[in-house]
Amino acid sequence: MKPYTRSIIELFDGKKRFLIPLYQRQYAWKTNPQLELLWEDIVRATNRLRADRASLSPHFMGAIVIAQVKTFGKQVQAYEIIDGQQRLTTFQILLAALRDVAAKHGSRYAAELQKYVLNDGVMEHEGVERYKLWPSLMDRRSFVELIDPKTDLDGIAPKPIDEEGFVRRSVAAHAYFRENIESHVKVDGNFDEHTFEILFEALKEGLAVVSIELEGGDDPQTIFETLNSRGVDLSPGDLMRNFIFQRAKGMGQKDGSLIVDELYRKHWLPLDHAFWSHSASRGRQTSQRLDWMLTDHLSMHLANIVSIETLFETYRRWILNEKPFSDVATELASITATAEVERKLFEQDKADPLGRFGVFAEAFDVSTAMPLVIYLATEANLGDRLKEALDALESYILRRDICGLTTKAYNRLFVGIIDRVRKADGDKIAALIETLSARESETDRWPDNEEWKQGWLGRDQYKGQRQPRLRYIFEALEQRKRTKLNEDIEIKSSLSIEHIMPQGWQRNWPIPGYDTPPEDDAEYIFRTVERANAINKLGNLTLLTQGLNATVSNGPFSVKMPAVRSNSSLALNRELNHVDEWNEDTIKARGLALFEVAKQIWAEPMTTKSNSLTTSLVGGEAAE
């Protein structure tokens, strides 16, 4: 590692190129505070020149880290920017603004400044190599338009999918500098060549950076992390991206661009799109989808719990100590495979097994299962049988939820299962089901039909924040209850879980024989408690549109049931047509009928009495 002190002008003096890898962040400096602070530094340097030129010493403006790229023949000497691309890009925009002001007023400095933004002479790829700074793909077109407005952009800088952010910031930066330069170099309203000359000298003598040029044995990632420890916070995704791609250095260039950029285009560019920057919440924590995906990815590989806070350091140690991949390309391909799975989980297309599980996982708040799901969808090589594995996992979670069993151990449970299934010989789905079925404690057992029935019929299910879970269950019951004679209908209406007998039943749903509530009647008190216990059971719940429910919500049975029959096309509600009265007995009977349907959807665990894998896997599917 060799450090050099170089002024802004010296950085770009001579025939050279600085290449910004595609994996680095886009240009992000804003007028306030970055550009304003830089301009204040420039003005102070000009004032020092005027006051005492002999005692002028350079004002330090930070550091940049670069690594030389091998060049051959007529190729221009090139450096890959490890750190400092924001400064270097800003300096180039500043020099372009200076040049443009000089050209506008016919100053001889216009030609002088041109030498510090564009190379000239013999080159192998002049259309690309003539630029002192070669930005990443997202920034390139807008940058070239500023540096060389007359060039043919389509040949060297095709328009990227989304360059809007850089357009605003680069143009704003150029306009900011140009406006301030114009104001600074005018004396009595006229352009003053001497003032402009002092401004140029300030960039040449009064402002400097430390240019750290790496050698063969230097670790660019360690240097990058050290320099950025007090800068703008980098997300775990930023740190991982830099760590991965900086280990791919030394691949050289092709046609004037870094070869490592092709790895970025294939594997990481899709992760820089807006989809992955959206926020997502898990429990009480909110972060970008990208960070959640990378956390799940590492948890899957380690078969252990990983937090977002420790993601980067854990990943770094794993890669350096375990060396799990043969090369960076394989490492990136593994992340791409995980991203494809997690994108389907986020997008929630119910026609896709992963999309459907994503709907389930959101409703039941079980993001802790994602590392296991990623393993099943990638490394386990299940192919078309993935749905069987996800169905088993869904049944395990849903049955425990209905029985009111704890979820506190899920994070450690699911990552632990990865290791057991990974080591199992033969059928991975069988290994998954056997592992889940073998659990016996309160914290991890898979309820059998008897325990599940008790929870289904005996526990209040309508409480707390359970609406999304109950809607998922009732929509699944609705789809299952449709026969082959019914139309295949997708539920798109905004349905909500509603009570058939309302929670406020006392006014319009009196207990038979007690039109007027008596005082101190033991039988009435018993019947009241019995009814209160039935209200929030599954047998008393159904799906209705919010508009219909608002119309009939607390109305009497004689009004509510005809309205439901007339306006609801769901199989769940058509079955109510034959019911003449609704009470505790009908609620229990309907709950039991719904349970028989549920058993066909969510299979029970394997048991010693019935060790049939097929029966355990698909439950009642064979009945069709």
Contacts of 50 (CB under 8 A, 6+ apart): 198
Coil/strand/helix, residue 541 = strand
Coil/strand/helix, residue 519 = coil
Which candidate, 440, 9, 486, 409, places its Cα nearest to that of 209? 9
> CA 152 → CA 254, 278, 383, 583, distances in Å?
20, 35, 48, 79
Residue 216's pLDDT band (boundaries 50, 70, 90)? low
What residue type is assigned to position 557 of the chain?
A: F
Residue 117's pLDDT band (boundaries 50, 70, 90)? very high
Query: Is the omega angle on the peptide bond into residue 324 within 30 degrees of 0, that is, cis?
Result: no
Q: Which of 149-153, 483-487, 531-535 has the highest mean pLDDT?
A: 531-535
Quote the CA–CA distance of 400 and 359 in Å, as a whole number: 18
Return the H-helix or E-strand segment holding 163: none
Coil/strand/helix, residue 597 = helix
Q: Would you say 110 and 47 are in contact if contact means Cβ atoms under 8 Å apart? A: no
pLDDT in tens, 320-373: 889 999 999 999 999 999 999 999 999 999 999 999 999 999 999 999 999 999
Residue 219's pLDDT band (boundaries 50, 70, 90)? low
Q: Would you say 133 and 79 are in contact if contact means Cβ atoms under 8 Å apart? A: no
Quote the CA–CA distance of 11 and 212 in Å, as a whole number: 12
Coil/strand/helix, residue 486 = coil
Tokens of 47: 């004032």
β strands within 47-93, DSSP E:
59-69, 78-83
Residue 610's pLDDT band (boundaries 50, 70, 90)? very low
β strands within 409-565, DSSP E:
495-499, 541-545
> CA 514 → CA 209, 471, 506, 555, 560, distances in Å?
90, 34, 11, 18, 21
List beta partners, residue 209: 6
Tokens of 454: 């008790």
Question: Would you tell me the crossing angle of helices 236-246 and 220-227 to the nearest 10 degrees?
Answer: 150
Rounded average pLDDT over 613-619: 41
Q: Specify the pLDDT at position 608.
A: 45
Rounded average pLDDT over 528-533: 92
Residue 54: CB atoms within 10 Å: 4
Residue 623's pLDDT band (boundaries 50, 70, 90)? very low
Secondary structure (H, E, C), 292-329: HHHHHHHHHHHCCCCCCCCHHHHHHHHHHHHCCCCCHH
Long-range contacts of 233-239 (CB under 8 A, 24+ apart): 235/288, 235/290, 235/291, 236/291, 236/294, 236/295, 236/308, 236/311, 236/312, 237/271, 237/276, 237/288, 237/290, 237/291, 237/294, 238/25, 239/312
Residue 425's pLDDT band (boundaries 50, 70, 90)? very high
Contacts of 435 (CB under 8 A, 6+ apart): 417, 420, 421
pLDDT in tens, 304-313: 999 999 999 8
Q: Would you say 541 and 500 are in contact if contact means Cβ atoms under 8 Å apart? A: yes
Residue 223 has pLDDT above 70, yes or no: no
Tokens of 249: 């250095």
Long-range contacts of 195-200 (CB under 8 A, 24+ apart): 196/101, 196/102, 196/107, 196/109, 197/109, 198/46, 198/49, 198/50, 199/42, 199/46, 199/98, 200/9, 200/98, 200/109, 200/112, 200/113
Give me the chain's average pLDDT, please: 87
Quote the CA–CA distance of 367 and 410 in Å, as a whole number: 9
- Quote the pTM value: 0.69
Beta-strand relationship, 59-69 and 207-214: parallel
Quote the CA–CA distance of 541 and 500 in Å, as a whole number: 6
In sign, the C-alpha dihedral spanning 433, 436, 439, 441 is: negative
